[in-house]
Structure 1
Amino acid sequence: MQPTRPAPSSSAIIDGKLYLGNLQSNLDGEHRASLGITHIVSVCPEGGPSTGPTHLVLDVKDNEYEDILGHLEKAVAFIEEALAVDGNRVLVHCMIGVSRSPTVVAAYLTKTRGMGVMEALDYIKSRRKEIHPNYGFLKQLQIYVQCGYAFKPKDPTYRSWKRRYTHGVRQYLEYAEDVAIIVPDRLSIATDFPADGLQGRWMLREFEITHLVVIGSEEVPSCATNLSLQVHRVDTSEPNIDIWTKKAVPSAARVIEQAIKGDGSVLVYSKHETKSLLVICAYLMAASRLSSREAMSVMEERLVLFDPCPTFFRQSEILDTLPLGEISSGDATQDSIKSDQGSSQKSRRHSFPTTSVKHCVLPNTLSTIHEKAKERLQAAATFQSPLRLF
């Protein structure tokens, strides 16, 4: 039995003029005809070869180290020339219409509509909610604007940026690798956070975080307030760990419960690993009516080398004595935990190969996403950037 071909998916970015879609939106002639498409920009090798002067093919891979900057000037000029003629309509597509093609459309909007990079991406997201260019493309969009909407290898701005580019992308991937997914689309944990505001903002968007639970005195990232995330701080000043467990942990677990009930996605952030894990444990106990030992079994499935210290075991026994409350039986999170994370994962969120308790192991249902992320990190270790410094 042959696999089902993906359905065409496209979104109007500028009504009656500019459309953004997946590969199938280009391959499906009826779909193109229904939109009145006259010109096509294929931002992926699968879109070629070119069918003629109204079809521009860009050989770009979706990798943080890939050179898309060198293609933006040509792509934007192609779109501008096409839309200068009344009645023309342009479709810009890549494989799934999430990273490469939105980058090209954002470049067009920054040049022709005077938008900033984030403003352009936010606007595109309002038209096609699943878009999320990779961090490397985001940085290249910024330098495209700073260099006057053109690729200028000898421009001092470009040369200065290029020297820092590979390090910045690698740094971002390392921060993202630190995020462990406990419950897909709902609950994650991190022990480190980018100091760079743009990296932090992009990471929160990458994981679609809506609520941030900060345990301890760690500084709340400024990007969290800029994104209007709901932030809850868990005080750790209580010197008696037993008292802290009885008072602070149930409160934090309830914050997570209410956020998830409201269809939110929570990131628990702290350098206090034991205390973070206690909060996660308490939430899992409440969400699926588990004992502390059963909750720890779930955490062992999610976390590599889960090896809690004696303090964690002692405090988890205290959790068994507390009225943590329960999430209703129909809650999606409870189903996800009890069914070993469900049967599908539609989010573009990544999970990363891991080597410590900070990092999560996902079951086979998420193997495709896991393998893609693994390839990204392997590329980060070996890839020689094609962006040249002349």
Structure 2
Amino acid sequence: MASHSSKKAVTIKKRFVSQVKPLEPVVKYVTPGGYELEKILHRDSVEYTHINEVWPNVWIGDEESAKNKHNLKKLGITHILNAAEGTWNSVDTGTEYYSDMDVVYYGVVAEDTTTFDLGQYFFSAADFIEQTLSITKNKLLVHCVMGRSRSATLFLAYLMICRNMTLVEAVDHVKKRRRIIPNWGFLKQLRNLDTYLVELRDGGAKENEREPL
């Protein structure tokens, strides 16, 4: 029997899929291969820093930035998505850590390994980000340990799912604002998501015909 959380994830996914808009490219877009995508990631990327604003009211950061409550208050952070909760190579914050702040906390238990299925969180994390940004005054920190792989992957997926970006457009947007290096497995999962969404936008796939990940 499917769990309540898995049923909720399916419901969230179906809602986002129903809102996918068609692309109108001059030249038909094709999801890049793994090596090509890595080249795109490294080309003209900015230098690494602890935290960067990558979207209006959205910052991607590392463990240090997530634990610096003084700076979080200074930035006016109201929501936190921890993409490295409760695992090996994790950030041990959580709701209790921010109990003295007016912050909404959302944790994702994920490992930064090439075999970990981060894609299972793409739609639920996108939902959290979208709901957060639906209120103009909210400000969001998305982080993991280094702020380059898990957190970056989830935010790239958000841009693809909710902002109608292709994977290349999402990468181009974020890398100009933050140094990101999703691991090889996460890149493959993002490429699968990209292919899935492109097919939906082109009318070549039905939501129930195939899974994106």
TM-score per shorter chain, which class? 0.5 to 0.7
In the alignment, does 2:81 pair up with 1:41?
Answer: yes
Partner of 1:135: 184
Q: Is the 8 A contact 2:126 2:162 kept in 1?
A: no
How big is the shift at 1:14?
1.3
For residue 82 of structure 1, the aligned residue among 121, 129, 132 is 132
How big is the shift at 1:74?
0.9
Partner of 1:9: 50
Tell me the percent identity.
31
Partner of 1:182: none
Structure 2: distance between partners of 1:100 and 1:71? 11
Partner of 1:22: 62
How big is the shift at 1:71?
0.8
Q: Is the 8 A contact 1:147 1:155 kept in 2?
A: no
What is the TM-score of this pair, normalised by structure 1? 0.35
Structure 2: distance between partners of 1:139 and 1:155? 21
- Give 1:137's aligned amino acid: F
Structure 1: distance between partners of 2:162 and 2:119? 17
Structure 2: distance between partners of 1:70 and 1:132? 19
Partner of 1:312: none
Partner of 2:171: 121
Structure 1: distance between partners of 2:185 and 2:122? 14
- Secondary structure at the counterpart of residue 47 of structure 1: coil
Q: Is the 8 A contact 1:39 1:90 kept in 2?
A: yes
Q: Is the 8 A contact 2:53 2:59 kept in 1?
A: yes
Instruction: Name whichever structure is richer in helix by fraction.
Output: 1
Structure 1: distance between partners of 2:73 and 2:192? 36
In the alignment, does 2:91 pair up with 1:50?
Answer: no
In the alignment, structure 2 segments of 5+ residues that lack a partner are 1-48, 97-102, 199-206
Structure 1: distance between partners of 2:168 and 2:92? 30
Partner of 2:210: 157
Structure 1: distance between partners of 2:92 and 2:191? 28
CA RMSD of aligned residues (A): 2.3
- Secondary structure at the counterpart of residue 72 of structure 2: helix
In the alignment, does 2:153 pair up with 1:103?
Answer: yes
Partner of 2:39: none
- Secondary structure at the counterpart of residue 40 of structure 1: strand
- Give 1:87's aligned amino acid: K
How big is the shift at 1:33?
1.3
* Structure 1 stretches of 4+ moved >2 Å: 45-50, 142-149, 154-158
Structure 2: distance between partners of 1:156 and 1:136? 23
In the alignment, structure 1 segments of 5+ residues that lack a partner are 1-7, 163-390
Structure 2: distance between partners of 1:48 and 1:146? 34
Bigger radius of gyration among the two: 1
Structure 2: distance between partners of 1:47 and 1:75? 17
Structure 2: distance between partners of 1:33 and 1:79? 19
Structure 2: distance between partners of 1:9 and 1:43? 15
Deviations 1:284-343 (A, max 9, x none): xxxxxxxxxxxxxxxxxxxxxxxxxxxxxxxxxxxxxxxxxxxxxxxxxxxxxxxxxxxx
Structure 2: distance between partners of 1:9 and 1:39? 18
- Secondary structure at the counterpart of residue 77 of structure 1: helix
